Amino acid sequence: MKRRKNFKEYLSHVAKQMILIHDADLLSKMIIRTVTRTLGVKYSGLFLYDKNSQEYIINVSSGKKGLKIPVGFAKIKNTRPIIKFFSDNNLLPDEKKDYLLDSEIKTFKRKYKNNKKIIDFIYNLENDISLYHAKLIVPGFFRNNLLVVFFIGNKTDGKKFTKGEIDFLTVLSSDVVMAIENAKLFEDTKQQLEENKRLLLNTVEALANAIDVKNEYTHGHAERVTKYSMIIAKYIPKHLKVAYQSFEDSLKIAALLHDIGKIGIPENILNKPSSLTKSEMDMIKKHPVMGAEILEPINEFKIISLGVKYHHERYDGRGYPYNLLGDEIPLIASIISVADAYDAMSSDRPYRKPMKKNEIVKEIISNKNKQFSPVVVDAFMQTVTFNEI
């Protein structure tokens, strides 16, 4: 009773751990370690089904030198007897299929001695078992599909496996299958999210390039502002960024799209080589709001739209479009503001030549607490110190 209670405790403990692990390889190692220590066996191995090759491949094993099999080294075709015994219900249909002890082979030989076809299968099955030094084999199914196979060697104390130990393994195998399927689902979802993220960034970059092409004087502007913004963000205190979910990702997209509202500005105004009239300047000043309106239908871009909408606000409250003051301006917009100004001053424009770097740095410092957030200027100066911009 005490032994059975311990197995239940082990199962409960392992199940709780498995829920937290989303890496199939790490999960497999933990399971094999648990099996080896709990049952006190000389060798144990876990084979996982690979649907591409239609093979069961050793994922992890544990044992002394000469018994332990390197990952991926051993492979079992799904047509092998050791696999068919569990997966093909037409073979030995009268026998249980939730585990197989090597000692049962003798019983099978006596029972089916008059059936040559079955005897041939049993002898091949015996060869498979001995090949992997197995005393006990336990399958793991998911929706009637055999996904994992445990190979368990001799116990270190030389004793036979008890019913409690076998029951422990059969329950554990079911839990392992579910945990591995969950881990794979998690990995697949993670990969899909990464792929979606990559496609999104590619789309955003293409859109940003389209905006730049519209203005012949600012080609590459969005890409450079994004580069400068990401460098500056590295030196922003962490506690200021925790309020934002995925701060760097949001900043990158916001910087790329900060001028998206210029899509609605006539090209003759954007490319005008001379000074703009008041009405033309008023039109230009609408682009942050127009950009935010373009992004508004996208629920996932709520934080991103803050950078687009407020990147022309000034710390002293004299910016546009809403005359926000000081910390009313979102951090994401304040970073883009400095990066945008730096690129504007360092770029060639029809009405002036690009400024030298030391002149730009002086200009940004002189506008600390005026045009620019002091926190962002301090971060910008760190990038200058380390010559990253």
pLDDT tens digits for 59-74? Answer: 777 866 545 666 566 8
Rounded Cα distance between 389 and 380, Å, is 9
**pLDDT score at 43:** 86
Strand ranges in the chain using DSSP code E only, listed in sequence order: 43-50, 55-63, 75-77, 100-101, 136-142, 145-152
**pLDDT score at 32:** 86
Measure CA 276 to chain center: 48
Q: Where in the chain is the domain with CATH 3.30.450.40?
A: 2-183
Under-70 pLDDT residues of the chain: 1-20, 63-73, 216-218, 350-351
pLDDT tens profile 93-146? 889 899 999 999 999 999 999 999 999 999 999 999 998 889 999 999 988 899
CA distances from 323 to 255, 261, 327 (A): 21, 18, 12
**pLDDT score at 103:** 94
Output the DSSP codes for 63-129.
ESTTT---TTT-EEETTSHHHHHHH-TTSSTTS--S-EETTHHHHHHHHTTT-HHHHHHHHHHHHHH
Q: Is 380 helix (H, G, I), strand (E, B) or coil?
A: helix
Contacts of residue 74, defined as CB under 8 A and 6 or more positions apart, other chains included, come to 45, 47, 57, 58, 132
State the CATH class of domain 195-385: mainly alpha
CA distances from 112 to 92, 109, 130, 237 (A): 9, 5, 20, 75
**pLDDT score at 267:** 85
Domain 2-183, CATH homologous superfamily name and number: GAF domain (3.30.450.40)
- Global pTM value: 0.60
Rounded Cα distance between 258 and 306, Å, is 9
**pLDDT score at 51:** 87
**pLDDT score at 4:** 43
Q: Where in the chain is the domain with CATH 1.10.3210.10?
A: 195-385
